[in-house]
A = this chain, B = another copy of it.
């Protein structure tokens, strides 16, 4: 399917701006003659495709992209390419992308005769349950919810309205999932918490009487695991988004609108305030409280609670300003070490004495001058 640049600009109510410095020939470009057969991001776009640019990084690629045209914001800086100028380039690009590649619309499939649904379950209206899904006794499922193949929902779970459970998700008994949640493939909610009491050299599993409770509009990434509470609930606040392969331990209370990136691990009994952001591979020890609006940089290792609105980084996690200085100094450490050796030598020569206390040998002994 081909569309002209003019057509596309019209669809998103954009203005076409043509390159004005193309060795005098740019006047002849006619946007009705620029044919677009698809869209792609700026690094991947090929001849014939439309792309978009937003932010410094994108502008860099504008000079080298193979795209035939680019959607940009009002301050256009691309002089090489025909542009569609709009207020929000990404939104316009998304709209035009759907022209060429429509989003998947899953129609309701009803309850497949090949699904295993307990007669004791209560199923809402317009629910899709795919083949090979399992719905246990006393489960409640709200309206317009989709349960994909291989999903297992154990006894007494409660699933809200407009929820999507992607394939092979497992919900242990009593799990609660709020309205409009998206739970991706392979997620496990409600497995046993990792708590043991060691008696006579054997690790005895602690009580597993709690459950997992997910608020509304939560998204949970593929293969993420959230363990049940020991006695009550592990809770995820509404609006929180969790990436793939995140681990949240038993008894945690995660606040609202958090963003937890991939491979984050949160040990048992932690809390976070609202709007906390954790970058990839962050680890949090147990019984730690993270205040609202805290940001934790990638791979941070948090050993103590953190006050609201702080930005931490490093292992152990430290306020980012300090951590950046620590990292910069650490990079210089081999040079500093040599510098200390030289200083020691000079001072020893001045004082005709070793710079060492009486109780231990000088650590920089290879720099030592024979007295």
Interface residues of A (CB under 8 A from B): 39-41, 43-44, 57, 90, 93-94, 97-98, 101, 103-104, 114, 116, 130-132, 134, 148-150, 152, 154-155, 166-168, 170, 172-174, 182, 184-186, 188, 191-192, 194, 196-197, 201-203, 205, 207-209, 217, 219, 221-223, 225, 227, 229-233, 239, 241, 243-245, 247, 249, 251, 253, 257, 259, 261-263, 265, 267, 269, 271, 275, 280-281, 283, 285, 287, 298-299, 301, 303, 315-316, 318, 322, 325-340, 342-344, 346-347, 350-351, 353, 355-357, 362-364
**A104-B173, A132-B116, A344-B343 are known contacts. Are A243 and B194 too (CB-CB below 8 A)?**
yes
- CB neighbours of A104 from chain B (8 A): 155, 173-174
Given B41, B243, B333, which contacts A333 in the complex, CB threshold below 8 Å? B333
**A167-B170, A203-B259, A262-B267 are known contacts. Are A339 and B331 too (CB-CB below 8 A)?**
no
Given B132, B261, B356, which contacts A132 in the complex, CB threshold below 8 Å? B132
Task: Say whether B134 contacts A167, CB under 8 Å.
Answer: yes
Task: Say whether A330 contacts B332, CB under 8 Å.
Answer: no
Nearest CB on B from A250, distance (A) = 10
Given B197, B209, B344, which contacts A98 in the complex, CB threshold below 8 Å? B209
- CB neighbours of A332 from chain B (8 A): 337, 363
- CB neighbours of A185 from chain B (8 A): 152, 170, 172, 188, 191
Closest to A275 in B: B201
CA distance A44 to B223 in the complex (A): 28
13 more A-B contacts (CB under 8 A) besides A101-B209, A205-B219? A40-B232, A134-B149, A167-B170, A196-B259, A203-B241, A223-B225, A225-B245, A263-B283, A281-B281, A326-B330, A326-B331, A336-B363, A339-B363
CA distance A36 to B130 in the complex (A): 43
Task: Say whether A225 contacts B209, CB under 8 Å.
Answer: no
CA distance A368 to B325 in the complex (A): 20
Task: Say whether B298 contacts A285, CB under 8 Å.
Answer: yes
Nearest CB on B from A187, distance (A) = 8
Given B93, B130, B188, B262, which contacts A223 in the complex, CB threshold below 8 Å? B188
**A185-B170, A194-B221, A223-B186 are known contacts. Are A363 and B335 too (CB-CB below 8 A)?**
yes
Task: Say whether A334 contacts B325, CB under 8 Å.
Answer: yes
Closest to A348 in B: B346
- CB neighbours of A173 from chain B (8 A): 104
CA distance A318 to B166 in the complex (A): 40
CA distance A166 to B350 in the complex (A): 73
CA distance A93 to B197 in the complex (A): 15
Task: Say whether B343 contacts A337, CB under 8 Å.
Answer: no
Task: Say whether A344 contacts B337, CB under 8 Å.
Answer: no
- CB neighbours of A208 from chain B (8 A): 103
Task: Say whether A301 contacts B299, CB under 8 Å.
Answer: yes
Task: Say whether A355 contacts B343, CB under 8 Å.
Answer: yes
Task: Say whether B201 contacts A191, CB under 8 Å.
Answer: no
Given B167, B229, B337, which contacts A329 in the complex, CB threshold below 8 Å? B337
Closest to A202 in B: B239
Task: Say whether B334 contacts A322, CB under 8 Å.
Answer: yes
Closest to A241 in B: B203
Given B174, B267, B287, which contacts A261 in the complex, CB threshold below 8 Å? B267
Task: Say whether B342 contacts A222, CB under 8 Å.
Answer: no
- CB neighbours of A243 from chain B (8 A): 194, 247
